[in-house]
């Protein structure tokens, strides 16, 4: 399947975005205000108008423009046209799934690349630790029993199912209604109280050592799990020629030491996550949570724009790809460094206050609409484009080396390429919001975990479409199939519980297609028969009959089996 077909399948629908749980945050609440602008178009300044005329008179007779720092020169004419493609734009890795991911065809198999058994084991262990802490608050032990891998996978499947049905923000009681207004898969998988207990107790780290780890790492409650899942994103996919680096803001208004306030975002309060995403197929390979200034220790890092881009793009060093980013990240030193040291090109908007830019490029007085001004510096190109009166677009690129203008739109090719590749992270953010698994929560680690699940769902779908070129299904259908794959084992196990209500048990048997001899706790259209094992004197009547031989039996003669033996017997019968 080609990239265009995948883009059409991925670029779908828009979303809607209360369920409360306890707040176990031990970090003092803090909001960092970020009012930086990320607009491509920039307003022109009038304050330097008088000085501009003098500068233009001096530079009009030269063959170059001089930057505001008095040292940076930008040639007016491009260098000699290259016959061969420059080395920094020769991609050395073919895009697509790699390693184990190349041979997987089913949704559940692909999903488990990102949430393997080791991740589920970690969640089960840490969740059980918290369950044991609060167990004394319950009158009955069974109301707060420990969980296991099958139940946790089923719980994640329910979150995915709620997201794809746009019910993630619905009150949890409404998901388990018995009046026919809610999907039956929820109450077939577990009851409402169990679902709420798992929501309350879901944890990703050991609480006994959290204080020690939090002393050097603000992301300690979910650091290990986050890094393991993100490492899997990178391991199983090779990106295309164009990648995007940008930020996404996960909505959150609870207590958090690094909560952000960005007025320009739809969700003004939240947790900021930087991401590296394929600009063509929207596969995310790298994510980094912004936690502000870390305490001294192993997790203290430089949060400057150049350092962020370096860390996010570390996995594609030397591959000849192009990175598209906005004016928060772009700078002339960034382009020079990535070309010289990492063999990567950079394309992005740039702020007009950069000292390397000539004043001629930042001013728009006297320039006609749709006019372009080019400058060239080594292997770096600069363009100033006026799309309309009072607006100015500044782009810099180490991928382009000419002044080509599109004949239809009148825009420079640099701007057209930027518009085609700038939306990688934004498109992923939109798709995450469309089928968002996030439920209302007061715990910020849950917000990060929901973000990992959303991105894993998109990544799984990209791999599925590339591995199954003949199957053209929507992402909604894929996520529904994935959720059923995760829930199926729990459904088959619950079908063995004799104490379940009869209607639930009948539906479980029907859905799981249980027709082996172990499916003894079924009924035959509510007909009553006499137990074939009791004496005639007892004349014991029962509704239970064997699903295979149809012989009636009472519960005294019923044989109970565990889940493992049941699955083994089921396989033998099917064989």
Give the phi and the psi of residue 148 in degrees, each rounded to 5: -145, 180
- DSSP 8-state assignment for residue 208: G
Outline where DSSP puts E strands in 508-554.
522-523, 529-530, 541-542, 544-545
Asked whether the predicted pLDDT for residue 362 surpasses 80, the reply is yes
Q: Which helix (H) or strand (E) holds 193?
A: helix 192-201
- DSSP 8-state assignment for residue 81: P
Distance CA 179, CA 488 (A): 24
Q: Is 181 helix (H, G, I), strand (E, B) or coil?
A: coil
- Give the model confidence (pLDDT) of 26-43 as tens digits: 556 667 777 555 455 555
Distance CA 554, CA 542 (A): 6
Whether pTM > 0.85 for this model: the answer is no
Domain extents for the chain?
3-33+101-214+431-489, 41-93+237-427, 502-574
Q: Model confidence at 517, in pLDDT bands (50, 70, 90)?
A: very low
103: left (phi over 0), alpha (psi -120 to 50) or beta: alpha
- The predicted pLDDT at position 381 comes to 93
- Give the model confidence (pLDDT) of 483-497 as tens digits: 999 999 999 999 888
Asked whether the predicted pLDDT for residue 57 surpasses 70, the reply is no
For residue 450, which of 242, 222, 145 has the smallest C-alpha distance?
Answer: 222
Distance CA 115, CA 155 (A): 13
SS3 of 223-290: the string is HHHHHHHHHHHHHCEECCCEEEEEEEEEECCCCCCCEEECCCCCCCEEEEEEEEEECCCCCEEEEEEC
Residue 259, beta-bridge partner list: 31
- Give the model confidence (pLDDT) of 365-400 as tens digits: 888 888 999 999 888 999 999 998 888 999 999 998
- Give the model confidence (pLDDT) of 185-232 as tens digits: 999 999 999 999 999 999 999 999 999 999 999 999 999 999 999 999
- What mean pLDDT comes out for the span 439-457? 96
- The predicted pLDDT at position 567 comes to 60
- What mean pLDDT comes out for the span 2-27? 55
- The predicted pLDDT at position 86 comes to 56
Burial class for 70, CB neighbours closer than 10 Å (0-12, 13-18, 19+)? exposed
Residue 377, beta-bridge partner list: 380
Distance CA 288, CA 294 (A): 14
Contact status, residue 406 vs residue 412, Cβ threshold 8 Å: yes
Q: Is 97 helix (H, G, I), strand (E, B) or coil?
A: strand
Q: Model confidence at 178, in pLDDT bands (50, 70, 90)?
A: confident
Pick the more confident residue, 507 or 48: 507
Q: What residues contact 472, with CB distance under 8 A and at least 6 apart?
A: 1, 5, 9, 465
């Amino acid at each position: 399947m080609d990239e265009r077909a995948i883009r059409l399948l991925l670029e779908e629908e828009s979303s809607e975005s209360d369920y409360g749980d306890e707040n176990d945050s031990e970090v003092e609440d803090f909001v960092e205000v970020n009012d930086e602008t990320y607009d491509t178009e920039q307003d022109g300044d009038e304050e330097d108008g008088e000085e501009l005329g003098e500068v233009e008179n001096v530079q009009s007779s030269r063959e170059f423009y001089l930057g505001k720092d008095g040292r940076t020169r930008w040639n007016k004419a491009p260098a000699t046209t290259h016959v061969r493609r420059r080395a920094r734009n020769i991609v050395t890795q073919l895009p697509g799934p790699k390693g184990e991911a190349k041979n997987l065809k089913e949704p559940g198999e692909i999903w488990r690349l990102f949430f393997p058994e080791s991740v589920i084991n970690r969640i089960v262990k840490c969740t059980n630790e918290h369950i044991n802490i609060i167990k004394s608050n319950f009158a009955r032990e069974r109301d707060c029993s420990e969980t296991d891998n099958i139940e946790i996978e089923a719980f994640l499947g329910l979150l995915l199912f709620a997201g794809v049905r746009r019910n993630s923000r619905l009150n949890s009681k409404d998901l388990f209604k018995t009046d026919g207004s809610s999907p039956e898969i929820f109450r077939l998988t577990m009851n409402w109280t169990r679902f709420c207990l798992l929501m309350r107790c879901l944890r990703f780290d050991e609480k006994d050592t959290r204080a020690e780890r939090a002393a050097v790492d603000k992301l300690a409650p979910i650091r290990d799990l986050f890094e393991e899942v993100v490492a899997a994103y990178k391991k199983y996919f090779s990106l295309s020629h164009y990648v995007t680096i940008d930020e996404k803001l996960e909505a959150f208004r609870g207590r958090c030491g690094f909560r952000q306030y960005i007025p320009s975002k739809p969700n003004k309060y939240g947790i900021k996550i930087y991401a590296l995403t394929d600009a063509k197929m929207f596969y995310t390979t790298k994510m980094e949570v912004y936690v502000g200034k870390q305490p001294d220790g192993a997790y203290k890092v430089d949060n400057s724009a150049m350092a962020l881009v370096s860390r996010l793009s570390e996995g594609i060093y030397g591959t000849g790809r192009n990175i598209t980013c906005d004016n928060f990240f772009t700078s002339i030193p960034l382009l020079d460094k990535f070309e010289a040291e990492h063999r990567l090109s950079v394309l992005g908007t740039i702020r007009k206050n950069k000292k390397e830019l000539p004043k001629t490029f930042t001013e728009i007085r006297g320039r006609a609409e749709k006019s372009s001004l080019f400058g060239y510096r080594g292997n770096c190109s600069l363009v100033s484009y006026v799309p309309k009166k009072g607006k100015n677009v500044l782009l810099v690129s180490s991928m382009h080396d000419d002044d080509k203008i599109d004949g239809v739109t009148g825009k420079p090719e640099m701007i057209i390429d930027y518009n085609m590749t700038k939306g990688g992270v934004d498109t992923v953010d939109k798709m995450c919001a469309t089928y968002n698994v996030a439920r209302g929560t007061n715990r910020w680690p849950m917000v990060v975990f929901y973000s990992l699940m959303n991105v894993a769902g998109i990544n799984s779908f990209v791999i599925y479409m590339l591995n199954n070129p003949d199957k053209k299904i929507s992402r909604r259908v894929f996520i529904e199939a994935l959720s059923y794959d995760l829930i199926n084992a729990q459904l088959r196990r619950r079908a063995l519980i004799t104490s379940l209500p009869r209607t639930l048990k009948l539906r479980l048997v029907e859905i799981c297609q249980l027709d082996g001899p172990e499916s003894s706790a079924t009924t035959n259209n509510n007909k009553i028969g006499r137990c074939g094992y009791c004496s005639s004197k007892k004349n014991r009547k029962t509704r239970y009959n064997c699903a295979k031989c149809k012989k009636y039996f009472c519960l005294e003669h019923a044989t109970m089996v565990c889940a493992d033996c049941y699955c083994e017997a089921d396989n033998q019968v099917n064989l």
